Structure 1
């Protein structure tokens, strides 16, 4: 890996070359954008990094840049205050170095160099200014951190620019940058017609350069996330997790129209989007409209991962990149929170005969569920089932679609409770069809039996055999298993068999 290229042509190695050799160390990134400044601290370098700290300030550095050529004075004040705070916070957390990258506003402003010098003098932080195409590459790498199999076009919108990059086969391909950020669009003359014509002209040029054959578009950036949150509101979508939220092209266009027909402050009140963000939504929505019309994707997906995660991905060894982020996150959670770390793998092996013919995309959910099955044990017993569901559906996990979140959460709910009737999470169950609901229940009841059958290794106590055509579930006990097979264990085994629609036999 060659490192990150900055505007001087210099190549830097983010976090140093040995970050993954000291994977327990916390690493921090500050992203100084045209609109927001964010500090993220990852709790160790890993395939699925945990977020130890995350803070954002809407400084608005790039507001008015096109007109004045300079950074917004009020934005400079807010940015400096935020960076001073971040520097002190990083010292308190023992994070060295704190990597700080700056994008379009600092890159293009006449006083950008002076701002960087002032930041270094007052905070000790050195801002690394990256070019537009490099910004596109890092954002695309952030998407690959969350979606190892991502294939399509990454579109990262900032305050003053829009970056595009092609991702396929775990690599970043063609990259382009454009002046389609909301702050720049505020200066376009000619009213709504002039704005639409300008956006279309620039977007058509991007299509010529990067091609339009991209079925999937991955949307990176706060303005896209705000639009997605509004799409959820319009559609009465039951989940508010933005990462991996999907929109059809028709839905996106309908939401753009809906935004134009509604009062922004009323939408802000309904969704909790900040004032500084909601004010840019109408312009960003026009960019999204033309993006859909020009590129004609089949689907759009929201990514909460971008430049910051891309910097971490930059130093990730190829062997680590190939691992499944979901399984890695589940393993980490088991190590940190389960009573018997390592039991999840044994539970999976014990239950495998029931799920032997599942496709890979389903098998990974079964593995993850087994790893997570005991991570809520400290919760009050009356609330464990709901806590499991809530934790998974809201967890900061990658490579997990919204229906998969609900499937995993429901399986864990049934690990603690036979019935899901009257569940306060029932609205989310609508993201699954009846077959998926049944499969989640079966998995949950299988874990419910296996987890209490033996606290060390259920495989030492017995072996399951499942004959789906004969609708028969068998448990073959060892000597140890006969002693463990009490009436509660048998009741749970029969409940599992019932969910399978099978007869049970114990030998």
Structure 2
């Protein structure tokens, strides 16, 4: 693993490099293939987690993910040392994780420990015990390094993002500023819920402590009124509760957005609710729920102090930051959505590489579209055939489900629904009477119509040829005339059968256009 304290080269200010969608995918490069199995362990104050990434793509898949709640930091405010019960559980977890890593053929596990181990009087002894018992060396990182790695995790999902990253663990809370791919100022504090829970004097004393510390953090970090990225299990639990309060239909935490007003309403909602009933409704573990009220107090003060313009939940944090640390810069610079879709096509499509042909074929429909929309068109073309193994009766729904719930970075919730609808229409002319209709309302009618057109364009284009090296047809779109032309070579005419003709007419119907068929010599 690279030196955890070195400074990383930034990604371009534009967010992602314009490297050309259909350039050679970097996951085929030997330096990227080294990341095909990357194992990391995060020894936190509340939990110990093993994640094994399938990391060759820019938006990595979670090959294996296991968390054990150990509460190493419980009671530290009074005793100064790690919880004895937590130590036993954590050591048992490390033995298990080492065995799992061996069975997966991982050459090494990178293990980092954060606030509890670095602050405990017996932290060094615990690390020595783990090394002696398992052969795993624990890197104990300071608060600023923890903040840097968490911020890098955010950059894994949002290249070029700017704003303030806040990572809350059991015993600490870290802040880091990011801009244009760089991690700037960073600071650590003692505002972890495990430590706040042990403060004498109840809510009044806690709130006074939180206010004092937060004002000190603001002095060190300066004005931070851009986006606030929230990292950590307690923040994710609060986001789940916000979804319950709002009746939000898409239960995907990554890129979930909240406003400062919503945070205020949800903090109040938590105070007024039966926590056990709320825990069951939101799907939060009892161990995590016990810390949520303290974390909510911190979040309320954080938002009041820094006044962010909006708030985004990041499922990527310190563990993803450790993977980002090992990525070559040219992989960091790629668009995480497009790289992940390209990786999926190479792995699962019947004809890997055909996405390029399909994209070029339907591109005339999108010449006046924004770069953001064309980016989604590219993603859809790459994913249009990856679910072909699903039963035909359910293939459209499987496509929608995959797009809206897959582990994809760089994708807003509204964009997930657009992409899902486009892929649904790749296999079905209609979208009514599915179990996803409540999600359709997350985008407006115009976007729903655009997704339908994209899906029908892919549905038709996939009928004409399957060979990625063939390119003997062309669409021409005249929006002012409302005219759609298909130019096709004479030798390809046999492929334009009655089903293909029906699909072309369906596309034209959605465009409210007339159709002309033109032939050309091959």
- Quick check: TM above 0.5? yes
Kindly indicate whether residue 433 of structure 2 is the aligned counterpart of residue 415 of structure 1.
no
Pairwise CA distance, 1:449:
0.3
Aligned with 2:74 (options 57, 63, 68): 63
Contact 1:350–1:458 (Cα < 8 Å) also in 2: no
The number of aligned residues is 496
Contact 1:145–1:321 (Cα < 8 Å) also in 2: yes
Pairwise CA distance, 1:196:
1.2
Q: Any stretches of 5+ residues in structure 1 without a counterpart?
A: 7-17
Contact 1:45–1:312 (Cα < 8 Å) also in 2: no
CA gap 1:444/1:425 in 2 versus in 1, 3 angstroms = same
Q: Distance in 1 between matches of 2:32 and 2:97?
A: 25
Structure 2 match to 1:437 = 448
Q: Distance in 2 between matches of 1:19 and 1:207?
A: 44
Structure 2 match to 1:9 = none
CA gap 1:5/1:19 in 2 versus in 1, 3 angstroms = farther
Contact 2:163–2:178 (Cα < 8 Å) also in 1: yes
SS at match of 1:340: coil
Aligned with 1:293 (options 304, 307, 322): 304
Q: Which moved more, 1:45-54 or 1:235-244?
A: 45-54
Kindly indicate whether residue 482 of structure 2 is the aligned counterpart of residue 460 of structure 1.
no
Kindly indicate whether residue 346 of structure 2 is the aligned counterpart of residue 335 of structure 1.
yes
Structure 1 match to 2:255 = 244
Structure 1 match to 2:486 = 475
Contact 1:326–1:398 (Cα < 8 Å) also in 2: yes
Pairwise CA distance, 1:212:
2.4
SS at match of 1:439: helix
Q: Distance in 1 between matches of 2:33 and 2:409?
A: 22
Kindly indicate whether residue 162 of structure 2 is the aligned counterpart of residue 151 of structure 1.
yes
Kindly indicate whether residue 425 of structure 2 is the aligned counterpart of residue 427 of structure 1.
no
CA gap 1:407/1:262 in 2 versus in 1, 3 angstroms = same
Q: Give the aligned CA root-mean-square deviation in angstroms.
A: 1.5
- The alignment's TM-score, normalised by the length of structure 2, stands at 0.93
Aligned with 1:272 (options 283, 286, 298): 283
Contact 1:31–1:101 (Cα < 8 Å) also in 2: yes
Contact 2:357–2:471 (Cα < 8 Å) also in 1: no
Question: What does 1:314-329 correspond to in 2, within 5 Å?
Answer: 314-329=325-340
Pairwise CA distance, 1:107:
0.2
Listed one character per residue, the Cα deviations across residues 301-322 of structure 1 (whole Å, up to 9, x for unaligned) are: 0111111111111122222111
Question: What does 1:224-235 correspond to in 2, within 5 Å?
Answer: 224-235=235-246
Deviation above 6 Å: which 4+ runs of structure 1?
A: none
Structure 2 match to 1:4 = 4
Aligned with 1:82 (options 81, 93, 98): 93
Pairwise CA distance, 1:21:
5.0
Q: Distance in 1 between matches of 2:33 and 2:431?
A: 43
Listed one character per residue, the Cα deviations across residues 362-400 of structure 1 (whole Å, up to 9, x for unaligned) are: 111100000000011000000000000001111011101
SS at match of 2:394: helix
Pairwise CA distance, 1:24:
5.7
Q: Distance in 2 between matches of 1:209 and 1:466?
A: 56
Q: Any stretches of 5+ residues in structure 2 without a counterpart?
A: 7-28
Structure 2 match to 1:213 = 224
Q: Distance in 1 between matches of 2:137 and 2:469?
A: 55
SS at match of 2:31: coil
Question: What does 1:350-389 correspond to in 2, within 5 Å?
Answer: 350-389=361-400
Structure 2 match to 1:181 = 192
The answer to which structure, 1 or 2, has the higher relative contact order (CA under 8 A, 6+ apart) is 2
